[in-house]
Amino acid sequence: MTSSKRKGIKGLFLVAITSVVLFSVTGCGPKEGEEYYLKFKKLSDTQKYFAYKADSTILISGHRGTKEAGFPENSIEGFQHALTRMPLFFEVDPRLTKDSVIVLMHDETIDRTTNASGKLSDYNYDELLSIRLKDHEGNITATMIPKLEEVFDWSKGKTVINLDRKDVPHQMIVDLIKKNKAEKYVMLTVHTGAQARFYHDRLPGVMLSVFARNDAEYEDVAISGVPWENMIAYVGQSIDESNRHIVEKLHANGVRCMVSFAPTHDRQRTTEQRMAAYIREFENSVYKPDIIESDYPVEVWGVFGAQ
């Protein structure tokens, strides 16, 4: 590595750390009531926002929300707090209670994220009302497990909610979206072309987050007949020579490509270690990703948000 390149990386690292300090310590950002909201008047506006434009912009997705002290994952309070720091959308986890109410919970059990224990599916919704969520450090908060319907109501005029696939039947998701007229502020994660087609036939134009990590997954989506303008694509944990050709085909079709740092760089113990890992990703990627999913979106925004 040349001396000038080392200096460039060091400078980028210092800028990134400074950005995160400003966001995290001083709370730099919009004033109260001036959050970084995404406001779409019609579904085509949502599609245009997520379309690949070859302009080097990078969007950030908060994985289950954000990891910050006092703000639990998969909580409206956590989402709202994150939007005071930066613009982003959120990947969330819908699950069913015993009495078929859709709530947000990543795990099958509630042990890790609440002050109670057992399988979520063994609880009726009313029984969850006395339970409180923990933050990622294990501190019990005053925050309750939210209904997905409450999240839909909150998200309108603020952000987009990307629903991961858990145990909720597809038709129940469709019915709830229609009931709440939430198409403009919802994205649906799908793993196959058939799943993409199911949602597109019932919710025409709704945004989908498709899997295209390899040739087989790409072709499966391509033959589904769902318009490319309705998609973003998850291409893996990074972009390298193994998936470069897939990214190029997706870009040619106007599709933004997303990577996830949650299972890789986000596992580093300290902010400095994570930031250094993000910088290495920036330097080593064949292409910069168009969308980054992370447990620490504020830190990622410090590196990539101004790119």
DSSP of 160-214, one letter per residue?
-EEE--SSS-HHHHHHHHHHHT-GGGEEEEESSHHHHHHHHHHSTT-EEEEE-SS
From the number of C-beta atoms within 10 Å of its C-beta (0-12, 13-18, 19+), residue 4 rates as exposed
With a pLDDT cut of 90, the percent of the chain lying above it is 83
- Residue 10 pLDDT more than 50? no
- Is 0.75 surpassed by the pTM of this model? yes
Q: Name the packing angle between helices 215-222 and 193-202 (round to 10°).
A: 30
Measured distance CA(219)–CA(224) in Å, rounded: 9
From the number of C-beta atoms within 10 Å of its C-beta (0-12, 13-18, 19+), residue 197 rates as middle
**How confident is the model at residue 34, as a pLDDT?**
57
- Residue 281 pLDDT more than 90? no
Measured distance CA(285)–CA(237) in Å, rounded: 11
Residues 6+ apart with CB under 8 A from 247: 235, 239, 257, 286, 287
**How confident is the model at residue 286, as a pLDDT?**
81
Which pair of tokens denotes residue 287? 């292409």
pLDDT in tens, 256-276: 999 999 999 999 999 999 999
Domain residue ranges in the chain:
3-93+148-304
Does CATH place domain 3-93+148-304 in 3.20.20.190?
Answer: yes
**How confident is the model at residue 77, as a pLDDT?**
97
| Amino acid making up residue 198 | F
- Residue 83 pLDDT more than 90? yes
**Span 173-193, average pLDDT:** 98
**How confident is the model at residue 181, as a pLDDT?**
97
Q: How far apart are the first and last CA of the chain?
A: 22
The mean of the pLDDT values for the chain is 90
**How confident is the model at residue 248, as a pLDDT?**
97
- Residue 31 pLDDT more than 80? no
From the number of C-beta atoms within 10 Å of its C-beta (0-12, 13-18, 19+), residue 49 rates as middle
- Residue 25 pLDDT more than 80? no
